[in-house]
Each structure stands twice: as C-alpha cells, then as structure tokens.
A = this chain, B = another copy of it.
Amino acid sequence: MIIDKLYEEALRSPICVGLDFREHLLPEYLLESSASLEEKIVTYNRKIVDATKDIVACYKLQIACYEALGLEGLRAYCRSVQYIRENKKIVIGDVKRGDIEITAEFYARAHFSGDFEVDFVTMSPYLGEDSISPYYKYLETGEKGIFVLIHTSNKSSRDFQELSIEDQPLYMKVAEKVNQWGESFISSSGLSLIGGVAGLTFPEDMKKIWEACPNAFFLIPGYGIQGGKSIDLTPLLEGKKRFIINSSRDIIGAHKGVKEDHNFAECAREKVQIMKEDILKWQK
C-alpha cells in the first residue's frame, strides 16, 4: 500500500518538500531567460527534485500557487507532479477540497486520475463524511491516500477548530472521525490510508491529536518560517515514526540573498540536510 511506502521513506527522512512555487524565488538566470513561465516553473521544480530526491520522504505541491497563475500555472503543476511520479517519489496534492458527495466524486476523479494525478490529497472536513467517502474507491486499490485537516497551523484555526464541544475542541471531534473512517483502510504495517494534518505551531494540540489517531500517518506543516520548532516533535519520535514534516519556503527559497543564486537546488539540498538533522537530533 502507498502508505507503507511513505512510512518507509519517512523512516529514512521525515522531510516533505513543499514545492509551493512563487515567482520571486526564481534565480536571476531563469527569471531573465526567454522561456515561458510554464517552462521556468517546471525547470525550477525539476532541479529541486533532482537535488533532493535521495534525502526526502516526498513532495507536496500547494495547488493554489499554480492556480493563481491560471491555466499556464496549472500546466506547470501537472508537469511537476508527473516528473515526481516518474522519479518514483511520492507526491501530495495539497488541494484541501471539500464538497458534497456528488461533487467530491468529481474532485476525487480530478486528483486521483488524469492530468492532476497525485498519490495523496489533502481534504477539508467541514462537510463531513460524505465529502470524504467518494475517495474510498481509490483508497481500496491501495495506491492512493488522503490527509484530512484536523488542526491547521494558522492563527485563525482558533476561530472554529478550537471551539469547545462536550469539553473537547472541535478538532478532537474531527480527529475521532478521521481515526474511525481510517479503520477500514489499514495496511500491513498498521497505518491507515486516511491520515491527518496537524500543525506544529500548536504542539500540545498536535500531541493530543496524535494520540487520538493511533493508526493515522500525519502530515505536519508549520515548521520553520511559520514558527513550529523541532523540539516539539520529540514525543512523535519516541514511538512509530508515522509522520512527515513539510517545509516549503525555508527549502525552496534557501538561495534567496545568496549571491550565486543559480545554485538554488544545492541550497535547497543543504537546507533539507540541516532540517533533517534539526529534527532527528531529538530522537533518542
């Protein structure tokens, strides 16, 4: 199952590189080249993948960064995703879709087949289980998985996710459901194809969610620029290492301010190494 592959990759390195493209990150030589924006993006992403694929667990593309550039941006998204899969690495489409059942079927088809095909997608839970269940038929093949937002890394996650229901915050209700939905999709290594997203920016909450979902694999955003600290991963490093830590700007923008910015891919690789050490130093 794809989740076993991700788990094995994460054992070697828990780093997920967020290929969240932004134009200002392009090194000068690419920015000034006569290539189309689509080609520039694809070149940039490919070089980062080439430079890091042996030391990371997987890649995640925030589709909004590409959607913002219109059809051309989405063409670059498709080609970047395809390149990662051709390189036998796992790719997560960070799409956070969430809609009623009949529409969720369309989103599942969109992101688990055809042009946009990825291995995992992120999903928003506000509409409940029938917004998730249309993905099940893809999970049944063992080749696809999902990560449901439980507690996000942003400040305003407090607006609703932390509201109290029967003495528990809403996100714990979501965590319970994620755990329950995931029980039908558990692999031989004891991990579910339905995982969770919990931000490192709220470490206490993250730990509670972690414990409430013993079979879930976690995608953890918020490390680095967003404020999340590696020391808070210590409890997660004690048992089964069922998580990946995503970082985007810190890695793919590591060359910013560096004089020879055409070495952006090497800068990204160095940053991954530093991040990996920063996280694994808490492992006993």
**A67 adjacent to chain B (CB < 8 Å):** yes
Total interface residues on A, CB under 8 Å, equals 55
Q: Are B127 and A71 in contact (CB under 8 A)?
A: no
With contacts A96-B98, A127-B157, A157-B127 taken as known, whether A103 is within 8 angstroms of B165 at the C-beta atoms is: no
Q: Which one, B154, B166, B174, contacts A128 given CB within 8 A?
A: B154
Using a CB-CB cutoff of 8 Å, which residues 32-87 of chain A contact chain B?
Answer: 62, 64-65, 67-71, 74-75, 78
Q: Are B71 and A107 in contact (CB under 8 A)?
A: no
How distant is A263 from chain B, measured CB to nearest CB, in Å?
26
Chain A to chain B contacts (Cβ below 8 Å), 25 pairs: A20-B103, A62-B106, A64-B103, A64-B107, A67-B106, A67-B116, A69-B110, A70-B78, A70-B110, A70-B114, A74-B74, A96-B99, A100-B154, A101-B154, A124-B126, A125-B126, A126-B126, A126-B149, A127-B156, A130-B155, A160-B174, A163-B170, A163-B173, A165-B165, A165-B170
Closest residue of B by beta carbon distance from A164? B165
In the bound assembly, the distance between CA atoms of A224 and B56 in angstroms comes to: 50
Contact with B along A146-170 (1 / 0, CB 8 A): 0001001111111111011110001
**A276 adjacent to chain B (CB < 8 Å):** no
Q: Are A160 and B68 in contact (CB under 8 A)?
A: no
Q: Are A124 and B100 in contact (CB under 8 A)?
A: no
How distant is A165 from chain B, measured CB to nearest CB, in Å?
5
**A109 adjacent to chain B (CB < 8 Å):** yes
How distant is A177 from chain B, measured CB to nearest CB, in Å?
6
Q: Which residues of B contact A62 (CB under 8 A)?
A: 99, 103, 106
In the bound assembly, the distance between CA atoms of A157 and B100 in angstroms comes to: 9
Q: Which residues of B contact A155 (CB under 8 A)?
A: 128, 130
**A115 adjacent to chain B (CB < 8 Å):** yes
Q: Which one, B100, B116, B166, contacts A70 given CB within 8 A?
A: B116
**A247 adjacent to chain B (CB < 8 Å):** no
Q: Are A78 and B71 in contact (CB under 8 A)?
A: yes
Q: Which residues of B contact A130 (CB under 8 A)?
A: 154-156
Closest residue of B by beta carbon distance from A111? B67
